[in-house]
Amino acid sequence: MTANGEPSADTFAALHELLGPLNKTGVDLKPETRFSEDLNFDSLVVMEFVATVEDCFDISIPMNILPDITTVKHLALAVEKIVKADRG
């Protein structure tokens, strides 16, 4: 994470790659892209997507934080926080 609280470009790139096949609405993927409104993710797709992100970063994303993750940027920040906590 950079000093101003912005997720790194690498994290965005990885998430964009994972989101690609799930982007059925064809919107431009930006940090502020919303999973529910812009990508039309339902609960099932969210769960599948979370599992692929967990595999990619080798982390567990607790279900408890999912309601607060509505955009790609939220997810990137959460992923970086968990990676940092896990690897010290």
Partner 1 sequence: MPGIFDRFSNLMGQRDAILAGDGADPFQVRMDDVISQTEAIIAGKRTILCGTNNYLGLTFAPEALKAAHDALDAFGTGTTGSRVANGTYSGHKELENTLCEFFNKDHAIVFSTGFLANAGVLSTLMGPGDYILMDADCHASIYDGVRASQAEIIRFKHNDAADLDKRLARLVDKPGNKLIVIEGIYSMLGDKAPMAEIVAVKKKHANTFLLSDEAHSMGVLGRYGRGLPEEVGCEDDVDFIVGTFSKSVGTVGGFVVSSYPDFGMLRLVCRAYIFTASLPPSVVASATVNLGLVKSGGALRTRLMRNAKVLHSGLSEIGLKVASDLSPVVAVVAPDPQVAVAFWRGLIEAGVYVNLALPPATPYGYSLLRCSLCAVHTEEQLRKVVSIFESVAINLGLIERKVRRSAVG
Q: Applying CB under 8 A, which residues contact partner 1? A: 42-44, 47, 50-51, 59-60, 62-64, 86
Smaller CB distance to partner 1: residue 28 or 42? Answer: 42
Token digits of residue 9: 């470009």
Asked if residues 22 and 41 have their Cβ atoms less than 8 Å apart, the reply is yes
- Least Å distance, CB 49 to partner 1, is 13
Smaller CB distance to partner 1: residue 1 or 45? Answer: 45
Smaller CB distance to partner 1: residue 6 or 40? Answer: 40
- Least Å distance, CB 63 to partner 1, is 4
Residues 6+ apart with CB under 8 A from 80: 1, 7, 8, 11
CA distances from 7 to 4, 10, 29, 42, 48 (A): 9, 8, 15, 25, 22
- Least Å distance, CB 32 to partner 1, is 22
